[in-house]
Structure 1
Amino acid sequence: MLLPTLLDIEASGFGRGSYPIEIGLARGDGSRCAFLIQPAEDWGHWDPKAELLHGISRARLMREGHPALEVARWLNGELAEIGIAYSDSWGYDNTWLSLLFDQAGMLPRFRLESLRRLLSEEQLTCWNETKQALIEEHGIRRHRAGDDAYLLQLTYVTSRQRCG
């Protein structure tokens, strides 16, 4: 079974001035990957509370992050053929994705849609309970983009099986 591709983004904080710091994908074949993003020169916002959640320091991003252009090219390479990825936080993730592509001077060759578009009413009803059970069952580390994308994909599959 080919699964929907799920995308998750971790950020420097929420709201005005925040920017993407990590993008993760759970691919249709069940594999996953993630990239840290090196902040652009004019991306100065940093929320220590966000860092406490994801555990990624700005210094680490400067050392290990990839430039926006490289990450945007990678995303287009991964997603252009299927043309779509899904997110559970579409409002935030779409804004950060737009910022990334703007910084790279590129246009995305795919669209980001809300994961809710794929979910039945039954799935929505049992989503949070299913997700929490999977976190505990699989020992999934939260607030890292690759792991969160995988968790969304796993919750999607499990909620379809258990809840309809």
Structure 2
Amino acid sequence: MTLPTLLDIEASGFGRGSYPIEIGLARADGSCCAFLIQPLEEWTHWDPKAELLHGISRARLQREGLPVAQVARWLNDELNEIGIAYSDSWGYDNTWLSLLFHHAGMLPAFRLEALRILLSEPQLVVWHRTRELLVKELGIHRHRAGEDARLLQLTYQRTLDQAAPGS
């Protein structure tokens, strides 16, 4: 079974003016990676509550983040061939992705779709319980983009197995 490619974004907050600070991918082969994004000068919104969740400081982004255009190029290089990635927070993630590409002066070479379109009714029924069990089992640190993308992928795989006839 080929796993879907999952994308997750951590951001400076959730309201107006928020922007992406970390993008993570879980690839079809199960490997994952994530990159911090250096905020542009005009990206000033910062929600301390969001920082409490993801644990990434603005100072760390300034030090370790990659330029917006570099992250956009990396995403296009990664996703161009498959042409699609999935997100569990499509409304937020698609907005932040659009912002990233706009400021990079590029167009995405892929589509971002809602993960929900891949899920069957039986998968939806066991989704949250399965995800929480995986967090405990694997000791996953939530609210970091790479780990969250991988968690979504593992949850997808396990719920697919559970929803299979005869399981």
Please tell me whether residue 64 in structure 1 is matched to residue 52 in structure 2. Answer: no
Q: Work out whether 1:148 is the aligned partner of 2:148.
A: yes
Report how far residue 88 of structure 1 moved: 0.1
SS in 2 for 1:97: helix
Deviation string, structure 1 residues 108-129 (Cα, Å, up to 9, x no partner):
0000000001000000010000
Q: Measure, in 2, the Cα distance between the counterparts of 1:56 and 1:16.
A: 19
Residues in 2 aligned to 1:3 and 1:160: alpha-carbon distance in whole angstroms: 11
How many pairs were matched up? 164
Residue 162 of structure 1: CA displacement? 1.2
Structure 1 residue runs of 4 or more that deviate by more than 4 Å after TM superposition: none
CA distance in 2, matches of 1:7, 1:141: 16
Deviations 1:39-92 (A, max 9, x none): 011100000000000000000000000000000000000000000000000000
Structure 2 unaligned spans of 5+: none
1:32-111 correspondence runs (5 A): 32-111=32-111
Separation in 2 of the partners of 1:36 and 1:163?
35
Task: Give the AA of the match of 1:35.
Answer: F
Q: What amino acid is aligned across from residue 78 of structure 1 in structure 2? A: E
What letter is aligned with 2:104?
A
Q: Which residue does 2:6 correspond to in 1?
A: 6
Aligned counterparts of 1:155 and 1:81: Cα–Cα separation in 2: 24
Distance in 2 separating the partners of 1:162 and 1:135:
17
The letter of the residue matching 1:86 is Y
TM-score by length of 2: 0.97
Residue aligned with 1:161, SS = helix
Tell me the distance in 1 between the aligned counterparts of 2:96 and 2:121.
28
Shift of 1:107: 0.2
Unaligned runs of 5+ in 1: none
Q: TM-score, length-normalised on structure 1?
A: 0.99
Q: Quote the offset at 1:163 in angstroms.
A: 2.5
The one-letter code of the counterpart of 1:152 is L
Distance in structure 1 (CA, Å) of the matches to 2:44 and 2:105: 19
Which secondary structure does the structure 2 equivalent of 1:23 belong to? strand
Give the match's secondary structure for 1:7.
strand
Q: CA shift at 1:2, angstroms? A: 1.8
What do you get for the CA RMSD once the two structures are aligned?
Answer: 0.5
Structure 1 residue 34: Cα displacement: 0.2
